[in-house]
Amino acid sequence: MGAHGPATQGLMRWVTTTNHKDIGTMYLWFSFAMFIMGGAFAMIIRAELFQPGLQIVEPEFFNQMTTMHGLVMVFGAIMPSFVGLANWMIPMMIGAPDMALPRMNNLSFWILPPTFLLLASTLFMEGGAPNFGWTFYAPLSTTYAPDTVTFFIFGVHLMGLSSIMGSINIIATVVNLRAPGMTYMKMPMFVWTWLITAFLLIAVMPVLAGLVTMMLMDIHFGTSFFSAAGGGDPVLFQHVFWFFGHPEVYIIILPAFGVVSQIIPTFARKPLFGYDSMVYATASIAFLSFIVWAHHMYTVGMPVAGELFFMYATMLIAVPTGVKVFNWITTMWKGSMTFETPMLFSIGFVFLFTIGGFTGVMLSLAPVDFQYHDSYFVVAHFHYVMVAGAVFSMSAAVYYWLPKWCGKMYNESMGKAHFWISFVGFNLTFFPQHFLGLAGMPRRIPDYALQFTDFNTMSSIGAFIYGSSQILFLFNVVRTIVAGKPTSEEKTWEGAEGLEWTVPTPAPYHTFSTPPEVK
């Protein structure tokens, strides 16, 4: 190593590290880079839809943007960000020295950057990026796909591999490395939600791998899994995709539940209400997520008995979810609440996620879903769950734990400004889309009829406001790390029943691994 300069040595340290904090940090920065890239794709979509008529991009490129936006946000931004949180926090929360499988941990991260480089590079290939939407339904993704679909399939395999390795690591860590006395029913809610999420990931990622393998066979080897001409069925594609896809949306939201279950008790200065019921509700949601997949498919012509089963099963998921929302609100009830930035994002999460839950119940009703299906109402619904759910809780988590990670305090005023600009921008973007959908505007189109103009204009303005707030977030985080005021031992956030989370003073990196001190 003596021949190499300090820069090379620093780079090699990050490439070869097995420290759970280094890997968590890399996941978080990578996911934020993907968040910015996916957001840029969304800005192109909203700029095109600012007014009717084609003005900025061609319809074909618009389709590529909708595909890339969805794939990058789900697999590149949201999932890796929560894996980064898990890497940082789970060992400290359960009193473990590190993750159980540190080298696999390193590999599961380093698979991701080349994978998304490969996916992004399809934009510059002949035929262009995939143009079939993030759900990549056959036959659009098989018979009529651009040549770049093969790169997409390879990328999906690699993403799945990374997820499975990360999940095995989390399960092995939680099961084997808990400190003495840390029983399962004493684990923090964030650890519980991730343990359950990891089992979900291991169950559904092979299903996605099987699906894209069948696509590969149809495209290159003459099989007919999804081609009716050869005895296959395009609807089979939808069944297999949503058997993966519906648990996937819970994989995204369950760690978010864990985050707000940590933050709300801290700033309400009360223990989490109904801890046991929260654990059971999380497990119930995970189980039910496997038997509701066809609620995405009411319009394919399934038997009425099938529609009824999936309708009732979907409505049933509202029960454990409602238990969670009730417990969060009850935790806040008569608490000594203060409204620092993490608490603002958590309350915003509870409020907006509940709206997303209500529209989800509306979409679960088979007869009326024929009106909502493939309209902007669906877009509004899942963004209230994904953005107001996953992204708001992720922002809350960063503000909550950043002082612990770097020993410096973020700028509170800037954090609150980030919240309010995000909150206004988000609602201005997605609330009008409910009305667009109910009025009949289909999603994934680059142009629309004149009567949809006003709501689309509002939506686009809101999107640019929301996007700009993330630049403020980035500035605040970087400023904190580079020039933030060091936290002192006196700077504590008092939690439940007088427990205090002591924010550590700046210390040498390798000594900075004790669990949060509980007095």
Hey, which residues are catalytic here? 69, 98, 134, 162-163, 246, 248, 250, 261, 295-296, 321, 324, 443
Whether omega before 139 lies within 30 degrees of 0, making that bond cis, reads: yes
Cβ neighbours of residue 140 closer than 8 Å, sequence gap 6 or more? 131, 132, 133
The Cα 401–Cα 407 span in angstroms is: 10
Q: Which two tokens mark 57?
A: 């991009």
The radius of gyration of the chain from alpha carbons, rounded to an integer in Å, stands at: 23
User: H-helix or E-strand containing 503?
Assistant: none
- The candidate with the shortest Cα–Cα distance to 42, out of 66, 72, 76, 74, is 66
Rounded Cα distance, 124 and 147, in Å: 12
Exposure class string for 185-195: b at 16+ Cβ within 10 A, else e: eebbbbbbbbb
Task: Locate 180 and state its tokens.
Answer: 């003495």
Helix (H, G, I), strand (E, B) or coil at 408: strand
266: which 2 tokens? 């801290």
For residues 50 and 460, the answer to whether their CB atoms sit within 8 Å is yes
Are 158 and 166 in contact by the 8 Å Cβ rule? The answer is: no
Measured on CA atoms in the order 203, 204, 206, 210, is the torsion positive or negative?
Answer: positive
Integer Cα distance of 331 and 347 in angstroms: 12
Degrees, nearest 5: CA angle 252-255-256: 85
Three-state secondary structure call for residue 500? strand
9 phi/psi in degrees, rounded to 5: -65, -40
Q: Which residue has the tokens 């262009």?
A: 128
3-class DSSP assignment, residue 443: coil
* 275 in Cβ contact with 330 (< 8 Å): no
Round to whole Å and give the CA distance between 517 and 514. 8
Q: How far apart are CA 80 and CA 83, in angstroms?
A: 5
Q: Find out whether 190 and 93 touch, Cβ atoms under 8 Å.
A: yes
- Within 10 angstroms of residue 417's Cβ, the number of other Cβ atoms is 16
Q: How far apart are CA 433 and CA 326, in angstroms?
A: 27
